[in-house]
Structure 1
Amino acid sequence: MMSQETQASPKGRFGSSRKSISVSSEALVSVAPLLDGTRAVSCTPAVAGLDAREWLAGSGKTLARLRDAHGAVLLRGFSPLDADGLGELATALSGELRDYDNRSTPRTRVNNRVFTSTEYPPEQTIPLHNEMSYTASWPDTLYLACMVPAAEGGQTPLADSARVHDRVPASTRERFERDGVMYVRNFGHGLDLSWQEAFQTQDRDQVTAYCEKNGIQTEWLGGERLRTRHVVQATVESRASGKKVWFNQAHLFHVSSLPESVERELRESFSEDELPRNALYGDGTPLEPADLAHVRAAYAAEEIAFPWQTGDVVIVDNEQFAHGRRPYSGARSVLVAMA
């Protein structure tokens, strides 16, 4: 994790030593380690203000190769992109963008398929996770663009999912890989997203049809209450690297991810199967606290972070790297597109 000195000084871990890894085919963009000890890289144009879309169009598959080889790529010093520009860059690299279906967090659609990042209160931490790894279908690439950096904090930390996997003790990995993860969500309590927001429809039949198509069990409980259960993967093999990666949100969905006082209040108010959201082993057995502690320790050990600057774009291979959000103060605006 970076210290305050690192964030303030160009001599710290970020941008330190700028030893060139490679140069784009037109020698317009230099590529260097994002942070010491990580595969992620940063790209900086030789001429400030170069349009990333123009570079992408003229450099062939350079950016795609960097994403696949390094897992996460920071574009810094290019001309800032608005929501339209971010969508154009993402579409040019990845093709058709993905909508945000089966939602788990509140976001606002900014333009077409470009969204705000998760709209949680600024004092909250969003734990490291791979986007939509609570489903059986997820985006392979994330595009994050900083419109306004926070006055303090607000970094988007990253973690190498293969290294997280390898840090989790073998006994914990084996249990999760054997059984998978069951995500249980109870809609209608008014304490989380409504089913209407999560599934982007007012039609119960559409929700039921979507869930049947995607292997999600549904149970309508009267009124606006809906309970869903979904058993999916705990690990996957990265399509780009071929490595086994930790790929689930058990530690994030589990009620223990909440502040202790909130967890206690929820447990006093709801039975285990009525909690607004929770995670279990795939066979329905409650998660062992020791296993959750191992997973969280693995993420903490692999977490890296850099300070956002206006105009930054980070391209993340969603299988190779997890991401999160640190608490912040002041205004902060980060947009995201998924492909």
Structure 2
Amino acid sequence: MPENLLTQVGIPQQKLHSGVPFPAVLTPNSNQPKSQLPQIIKEQKTWIGSLLHQSGAVLFRGFPVNSASDFNDVVEAFGYEELPYVGGAAPRTSVVGRVFTANESPPDQKIPFHHEMAQVPEYPSKLFFFCDVEPGSGGETPIVPSHVVYEKMKNKYPEFVERLEEHGLIYIRVLGEDDDPSSPIGRGWKSTFLTKDKSVAEERFHDLRALVVQMVQCLKQSYCTLHMRISDSSVLEKRTLQDLLGIASFEQHKVMKYKTLVTAVVEKCRQGRRAAKLGMKLEWLEDGVKTVMGPIPGIKFNQERQQKIWFNSMVAAYTGWKDARNDPVKAVTFGDGQPLPAEVVHDCLSILEDESVAIPWKKGDILLIDNLAVLHSRKSFNPPRRVLASLCK
């Protein structure tokens, strides 16, 4: 494919970090049919990946991406494995394929800087945003390089950073039963753990293992060659069964009339592992659940770039985890349970804002972010605005 199908350009909002434009911006050199865009990405993936590695974020602008389905095709073209949104705080709605809405909190509320799902052990390595409907005004998604924040915090507050590296952070959040669209952290426990059953949300997998093994032994008597589809439309293959059941070898079986039973029990196993897998402690309340996550490292070492990064949701939790159930000052502490100094947290927010880039959204824009290199946020806006997202392992 000719190299001139994609070109790197500059825009007024960009910043330079060590001579590298942040973010990198790609536009088409000529009008390309929509059907060719995924193919262009597949053939230029190595070059795009190098830009992402250098800059931490790549903005695609001016491409004919007109719908959520188009966006899903673009995400699929990159070939990254999907990461289900389990354990996150934001209320979201599934749209199509791997695409869901970005945080649906009210437009007058800002969403503070954070690495996506930094408060849980399993977080995305990359995330995509897509502008489906331009904001009336405002609504930018500011981004900032994480290593720059770390360096500035280390220079200004060395003792705080040392303590953060030693103890990590604990995140505390109270979830209601159902989603609360009026709150930026209003995701209820049912959608957080993808179940309506309290026991399922906290059970460990081994409590159900014997039941599943017994069921499978019964199926062995009648069927062979397993190939089943479960509720999320993915194919449950031998390797997945081995992972779920902890069985070293597994003879495959064909599921026909027992498909519904198998589906229900296997899904129950998967759900039962969710809270435990996240390392989350649950305290059930009369009308919700208190979740305690951590201690979790607040600073990580980025192996690909050989640099330390400010990988946490400290500022987001301390300044933004506020609703009828949650006091943001109590939402995050040091890993030893001691409170964070307010002046340091608020100064960190100032650093984030000073170093950030806020690019106005245009219809069809796609922003690819390396979640291990860049924090993001959202400014308040006047409707309409519709930004969609997709997470990758």
In structure 2, how many angstroms separate the alpha carbons of the residues matched to 1:242 and 1:48?
39
1:294 aligned counterpart, secondary structure: helix
User: Percent identity of the aligned residues?
Assistant: 27
Q: Which is greater in Rg? A: 2
In structure 2, how many angstroms separate the alpha carbons of the residues matched to 1:186 and 1:151?
33
Summarize the Cα distance change of 1:276–1:84 in structure 2 as closer, same or farther, 3 Å threshold. Answer: farther
Summarize the Cα distance change of 1:83–1:276 in structure 2 as closer, same or farther, 3 Å threshold. Answer: farther
1:186 aligned counterpart, secondary structure: strand
**2:250 maps to 1:197:** no
Q: 1:301 aligns with which of 354, 364, 373?
A: 354
Aligned to 1:227: 290
- How far the C-alpha of 1:124 sits from its partner, in A, is 0.9
Decide which moves more: 243-252 or 224-233. 224-233
Q: 1:176 aligns with which of 164, 187, 197?
A: 164
In structure 1, how many angstroms separate the alpha carbons of the residues matched to 2:10 and 2:372?
20
Alignment of 1:1-339 (within 5 A): 26-34=3-11, 35-37=14-16, 38-49=21-32, 51=34, 52-168=37-153, 169-188=157-176, 192-208=186-202, 209=204, 210-221=274-285, 223-231=286-294, 232-254=296-318, 256-257=319-320, 278-339=331-392
In structure 2, how many angstroms separate the alpha carbons of the residues matched to 1:276 and 1:99?
29
In structure 1, how many angstroms separate the alpha carbons of the residues matched to 2:45 and 2:342?
48
Contact 1:186 1:276 in 2 (8 A): no
In structure 2, how many angstroms separate the alpha carbons of the residues matched to 1:131 and 1:111?
20
Decide which moves more: 235-244 or 120-129. 235-244
In structure 1, how many angstroms separate the alpha carbons of the residues matched to 2:169 and 2:192?
20
- How far the C-alpha of 1:142 sits from its partner, in A, is 0.7
Q: Deviations over 1:135-177 (max 9, x none)?
A: 1111011111111111111111111111011111222211211
Q: Which runs of 5 or more structure 2 residues have no equivalent in the other structure?
A: 205-273
In structure 2, how many angstroms separate the alpha carbons of the residues matched to 1:315 and 1:288?
33
CA RMSD of aligned residues (A): 2.4
Q: Which amino acid aligns with 1:241?
A: R
Q: Which amino acid aligns with 1:283?
A: D
In structure 2, how many angstroms separate the alpha carbons of the residues matched to 1:170 and 1:44?
41
Contact 2:87 2:278 in 1 (8 A): no
Q: Which amino acid aligns with 1:140?
A: S
TM-score by length of 2: 0.72
Contact 2:45 2:78 in 1 (8 A): no
- How far the C-alpha of 1:86 sits from its partner, in A, is 1.9
Contact 2:111 2:320 in 1 (8 A): no
> Following superposition, which runs of at least 4 residues in structure 1 exceed 6 angstroms of deviation?
none
Contact 1:185 1:276 in 2 (8 A): no
Summarize the Cα distance change of 1:299–1:60 in structure 2 as closer, same or farther, 3 Å threshold. Answer: closer
How many residue pairs match? The answer is 304
2:141 aligned counterpart, secondary structure: coil
Q: Which runs of 5 or more structure 1 residues have no equivalent in the other structure?
A: 1-23
2:170 aligned counterpart, secondary structure: strand
Summarize the Cα distance change of 1:50–1:178 in structure 2 as closer, same or farther, 3 Å threshold. Answer: farther
TM-score by length of 1: 0.82
Q: Deviations over 1:279-312 (max 9, x none)?
A: 1111111111122123212212211111111111
Q: Deviations over 1:67-118 (max 9, x none)?
A: 1221100111111142222222223214321111112011111013211110
Summarize the Cα distance change of 1:303–1:33 in structure 2 as closer, same or farther, 3 Å threshold. Answer: same
- How far the C-alpha of 1:240 sits from its partner, in A, is 3.2
In structure 2, how many angstroms separate the alpha carbons of the residues matched to 1:166 and 1:53?
37
In structure 2, how many angstroms separate the alpha carbons of the residues matched to 1:258 and 1:236?
23
2:123 aligned counterpart, secondary structure: coil
